[in-house]
Structure 1
Amino acid sequence: MTKPIELTTKMRSPMKVLSLCTGIAGDAAAFLHAGISHEMIAVAEFDPLASAVLACRFPGVLNLGDINAINHWKVYHGKVDLIITGIPCQPYSSAGRQLGSEDARDLSTRVCEIIATVAPRFILIENVPQFRTVQGGKPFAEFTGAIERAGYSLGYQVIDAQDFVPQRRKRLFLCAYRGTPSTSPSELLAFAAGGAGRAKPGGAICDRARSDPPGSSSVLYPPRLGTIMASGSGLNRAGMKGHEMDFYVVQEFPEWGLTVRRPTPLEVLRAQGFPDWWLDDVTYRGRPLTNNQRYQLVGNSWPVPVAAAILSEINAHWFAPASK
């Protein structure tokens, strides 16, 4: 039986982390993947399905729930080194109506308010690339402007997960720092994206992400999966459009010959870089997770080794006394 994960390491000076819009804690998995000493102060996730995963994996960590319903962020002022969040992408994703700041689900303004109140030393944010361009780029300009006015230098870069895991997944990463860093946020993201990152597996996770999706040399197609989405497009329903075709796995079995099938939940979990056991023993409303629920949870997360590469650079370049 899989044991809950203890997020506080015994190493000296752990990085104190506040995770917002946590999902299934791809950020925590990234810390473990990179072997970075850290302490999760709290997480914030309102989705009941994702919250069930957090309660199983991290029973000792407070889940604050909906960030819009919380007004006591001042208690975390001066107690957090890093705020990390994957802001909900629905207002900006090309899969939706791209209403941006006019979408009721947009949390970018709220996240900026939390950052200004908590004043962490570091910030790491993930979203879809369209976050930069929707509504002529106005919401993104307002978002980055608010962070800069709060006293941060920042940089951003689109990184494709296929350089780290067997999945094509372009995402925009924004990194910011309060004070004067020895390495600029833009340079740090470039190091991480260009292979100079220190994302070597060094913690609790064994790195199996770069193998073929089903982990077998007998897989003939695809070399990497398409972008995994929470809708399960191509996974739990017919994939007959564009990238969905890249979820048909063509594999040669000694017993049955050439077979066409869809990826299993385990293969999808590996394609995001999670360890095989991440969703083990999780129950929702008293029942084990269904395949569709697993696809949804993994599709809503972010690629673990990409986040690990960025966090490794933060840890290496910036984990030193901040300049005033």
Structure 2
Amino acid sequence: MPRTCVEICAGAGGQALGLEAAGFEPDVLLEIDDKACETLRLNRPNWNVVEGDLREFDGTPFKGADLLAGGVPCPPFSVAGKQLGADDERDLFPEALRLVEEIQPRAVMLENVRGFMGAVFEDYRLKLKARFQELGYWSEPRLLNASDFGVPQLRPRVVIVAIREHERHHFRWPQVMQDNPKTVGETLYDMMKASGWKGAAKWKTRANDIAPTIVGGSKKHGGPDLGPTRAKRAWATLGVCGMGIANSPPDRDFVGTPRLTVEMVARLQGFPDDWKFAGRKTPAYRQVGNAFPPPVAAAVATQIAAAMDAADAENGSEQAA
């Protein structure tokens, strides 16, 4: 039987795709953004997608699910923000812990930004670990780079894994891939030349590194772009204009620095090409930019599933004896 999961703050399905690849089936996916919910339903009509606020979500109907997973909001811990942590109204770790208590899953997998590991949040991390211990779980945060798992993008992210104390010895963090990921040029060349752009081959040679971290931006700001000034400079060295998102690839006689399309950014995030995003360009890009790369989610979730398999096999052999 497939293992079950409850996913909170599901977004546009990056983590859900990783969980699916690792053999988990969702009992429910909770997401507050209507366009992201539309994306999930568009691609997986059979999934139980619930649009709503995590603070109002009752986990008790899903008690006993194998895994609770989610990407709780990043702004409370982002170096781009005020780093208010627990004092930020968007801090949803307390709600995630409430669900751990209500659902009592075998394991928990939560994703956040690199800033979560900063010295300023040491007390916060210790309190989180202590609460997991009270609930019967061993837990550990680890900083993972998407590029170490085949994603052509830097994208450092913190993943917190918690497993029931008596099963912790079965869990191992995923191994880093030995091969370097493809460059931006290698990854997007077929898309850049799709309309016959004569400069595509030259562009591919220039775009000879992985992408900087893709950002989704905030609804409070304007249209989509590839991030702050420093990020735009990094994109410029790769031959990409970071000032906005294009509607289509460069045409045959295009001259200048091309912009990426939503589909190109999605591929750089590790989404499969057949995953479609609901809404117009701006909401679609934000869904992509805020996503957890599916290959990273799959790597961690596969190790969680392996730990469960090992624990089940151990329990089976003990019972047989």
Paired amino acid for 1:274: F
* Aligned match for 1:144, one of 114, 123, 129: 129
Aligned residue number for residue 195 of structure 1: 177
| Equivalent residues, number | 286
Are 1:115 and 2:115 counterparts?
Answer: no
Contact 1:213 1:263 in 2 (8 A): no
Q: Report runs of 4+ in structure 1 exceeding 6 Å deviation.
A: 207-211
Aligned residue number for residue 56 of structure 2: 69
Gaps of 5+ in 2: 191-200, 241-249
Paired amino acid for 2:25: E
* Aligned match for 2:188, one of 198, 210, 214: 214
Aligned residue number for residue 210 of structure 2: 224
Paired amino acid for 1:55: R
More helix by percentage: 2
**Aligned-residue identity in percent:** 26
Aligned residue number for residue 3 of structure 1: none
Cα distance in 2 for partners of 1:111, 1:254 equals 47
Structure 1 counterpart SS, 2:257: strand
Q: After the TM superposition, which of the residue ranges 120-129 and 58-67 deviates more from structure 2? A: 58-67
Correspondences of 1:13-24 after superposition (within 5 Å): 13-24=1-12
Contact 2:152 2:182 in 1 (8 A): no
After superposition, the CA RMSD in angstroms is: 3.0
Aligned residue number for residue 152 of structure 2: 166
TM-score normalised to structure 1 length: 0.78
Paired amino acid for 1:314: I
Cα distance in 2 for partners of 1:75, 1:255 equals 55
Change (3 A) 1:184 1:129: farther
Paired amino acid for 1:22: A
Structure 2 counterpart SS, 1:180: helix
Are 1:129 and 2:117 counterparts?
Answer: no
Paired amino acid for 2:189: G
Change (3 A) 1:257 1:263: closer
- What is the Cα deviation at residue 182 of structure 1? 6.6
Cα distance in 2 for partners of 1:76, 1:239 equals 38
Cα distance in 2 for partners of 1:211, 1:82 equals 37
Cα distance in 1 for partners of 2:33, 2:224 equals 21
- What is the Cα deviation at residue 195 of structure 1? 3.0
Paired amino acid for 2:291: S
Are 1:54 and 2:40 counterparts?
Answer: yes
Cα distance in 2 for partners of 1:52, 1:222 equals 35
Aligned residue number for residue 242 of structure 1: 230
Cα distance in 2 for partners of 1:134, 1:106 equals 18
Are 1:279 and 2:268 counterparts?
Answer: no
Change (3 A) 1:77 1:238: closer
Gaps of 5+ in 1: 1-12, 197-206, 283-288
Aligned residue number for residue 68 of structure 2: 83
- What is the Cα deviation at residue 169 of structure 1? 0.3
